[in-house]
Amino acid sequence: MPPQPEPVRLSFRRGAKGAGVTRLERLILHPTLKEEMLARLKKRLGCGGTLKDGAFEFQGDHRDALARLLIAQGYKIRS
């Protein structure tokens, strides 16, 4: 894992219909590694997700669980 120069951003956005997505931004990884990480995180969180404009988007509010997983991997989190 390469050193992360700044903390990653973790946020939750609610759409117009009430459904929300958890966004993980500013994660510096090669696009191939982002795809692999997305697959692992979706499996661990038990939800759907995608990469949109270089940011991870997960269906639902998974901020707490995602923060725990990322901190365990050595990332710093900023909300």
Residue type, 59: Q
Residue 3: what pLDDT? Answer: 65
Residue 73 has pLDDT above 70, yes or no: yes
Domains and CATH numbers, the chain: 8-78 (3.30.780.10)
CA–CA distance, 8 with 6 (Å, rounded to integer): 7
Distance (Å, whole) CA 1 – CA 66:
17
Percent of the chain as helix, strand, coil, to the nearest 5: 30, 30, 40
- Write down the pTM of the prediction: 0.87
Q: Is 2 a residue whose pLDDT tops 60? A: no
21-68 tens-digit pLDDT: 999 999 988 889 999 999 999 999 999 999 999 899 999 999 999 999
